[in-house]
Structures are given as structure tokens and as C-alpha cells.
């Protein structure tokens, strides 16, 4: 792992502070990626890391604003990603598959699935082949929300590449 000098760490902290100040002045989570000052385009690993950091912060904020009221992070977010990927491949996942994939105990996974159901993003049904299993699928709303979120991320990524060019 690359070690950063104290000067480099101070620069990173300064850029993070700039980003926080910009976000605080806006008072909204819907900040466009082009409003975050990207590091000057150089071939240095530090500049690339700063750009990735800014973009990661933006993605997290976009996800928070796109899925209001829900805790869409950590294991719950991993479950949504797994459900979207399974759906795109025409596969189904059980509740235990989701919990295992998210790295949480089944009891925690079931609570997270219940939360996704309460938000209208996922639904459970009994597996016709094994009635002891619950199959979890995204609802139409869940699929639409995920698709529109990734469209926004794609647009932000294209925009950030255009700014860097």
C-alpha cells in the first residue's frame, strides 16, 4: 500500500473540506458532479485518488437523495445490488442467499428485507419447489428506482470524464 506524506494528507483533507463547504453552502444533496472541483488532470496517483474520492462522495449523496427515507447503505444496499443483478440475469434469490451475500446473519437479513418490502422496493414469495424458502424479488418500483439511479450515476460519470478531458 502506498504511503502518503503529511503534505499529501493535508492536501486531501483540504479538498475534502472544500467539498463539504460546497455541499453545506448548497444545502442540498443533489449536487452535480461538475460542481465538485476535480483535481487538475495529471498523471499522479494522488490526483487520480482525489478525483475518485470526490466522485465517491457524490455517488453516496446521490444514492441518499434518490432513495429518501430508507437506509440504503451497507448490507441493505448490497441486497439491492444482488437483487438487481439477479433480475437482469433472469435468476431469483432466496432470503438466505441475500443475507449470505450481504454478509449478515439470516435474522438481520430478514429485517432488512422487511424494510425493503415496507419501502415498496422488494417483495417476498414462497418458493414453489421448496415451501420452506422465501424468494425475494424487486418490485416494479424497486427495479425502476434502481435503473433510474444507475442512469444518474452513468450521466455523472460521463460528465466527470468530460470535465477531465
Q: What is the pLDDT of residue 141?
A: 95
What is the side-by-side order of every strand in the sheet holding 93-94?
93-94, 134-138, 122-126
Cβ(103)–Cβ(112) below 8 Å: no
Q: What is the pLDDT of residue 1?
A: 44
Of 70 and 146, the structure prediction assigns the larger pLDDT to 146
Where do the CATH 1.10.10.10 domains begin and end in the chain? Answer: 74-146
Q: What is the pLDDT of residue 53?
A: 85
Cβ(36)–Cβ(52) below 8 Å: no
With a cut of 60, say whether residue 164 has pLDDT above it: no
Cβ(94)–Cβ(134) below 8 Å: yes
Element (H, E) at 140: helix 140-164
If DSSP codes are grouped into helix, strand and coil, which group holds residue 10?
Answer: helix
Residue 5 exposure: Cα atoms within 13 Å on the Cβ side:
5
Topology of domain 74-146, per CATH? Answer: Arc Repressor Mutant, subunit A (1.10.10)
Q: Could you report the per-residue pLDDT of 51-104, keeping only the tens digit for each?
A: 788 888 888 888 988 887 767 889 999 999 999 999 999 999 999 999 999 999
Q: Could you report the per-residue pLDDT of 93-144, keeping only the tens digit for each?
A: 999 999 999 999 999 999 999 999 999 999 999 999 999 999 999 999 999 9
Q: Rounded to two decimals, what is the model's pTM?
A: 0.69
Q: What is the pLDDT of residue 106?
A: 95
Q: What is the pLDDT of residue 21?
A: 59
Amino acid at each position: 500500500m502506498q504511503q502518503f506524506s503529511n503534505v499529501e494528507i493535508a492536501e486531501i483533507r483540504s479538498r475534502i473540506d472544500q467539498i463539504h463547504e460546497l455541499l453545506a453552502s448548497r444545502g442540498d444533496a443533489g449536487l452535480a458532479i461538475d460542481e465538485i472541483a476535480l483535481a487538475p488532470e495529471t498523471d499522479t496517483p494522488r490526483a487520480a485518488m482525489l478525483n475518485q474520492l470526490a466522485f465517491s462522495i457524490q455517488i453516496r449523496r446521490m444514492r441518499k437523495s434518490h432513495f429518501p427515507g430508507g437506509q440504503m447503505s451497507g448490507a441493505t444496499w448490497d441486497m439491492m445490488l444482488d437483487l438487481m443483478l439477479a433480475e437482469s440475469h433472469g435468476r431469483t434469490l432466496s432470503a438466505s442467499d441475500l443475507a449470505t451475500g450481504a454478509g449478515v446473519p439470516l435474522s438481520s437479513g430478514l429485517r432488512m428485507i422487511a424494510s425493503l418490502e415496507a419501502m415498496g422496493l422488494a417483495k417476498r414469495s414462497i418458493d414453489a419447489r421448496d415451501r420452506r424458502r422465501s424468494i425475494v424479488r424487486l418490485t416494479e418500483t424497486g427495479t425502476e428506482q434502481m435503473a433510474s439511479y444507475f442512469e444518474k450515476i452513468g450521466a455523472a460519470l460521463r460528465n466527470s470524464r468530460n470535465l477531465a478531458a
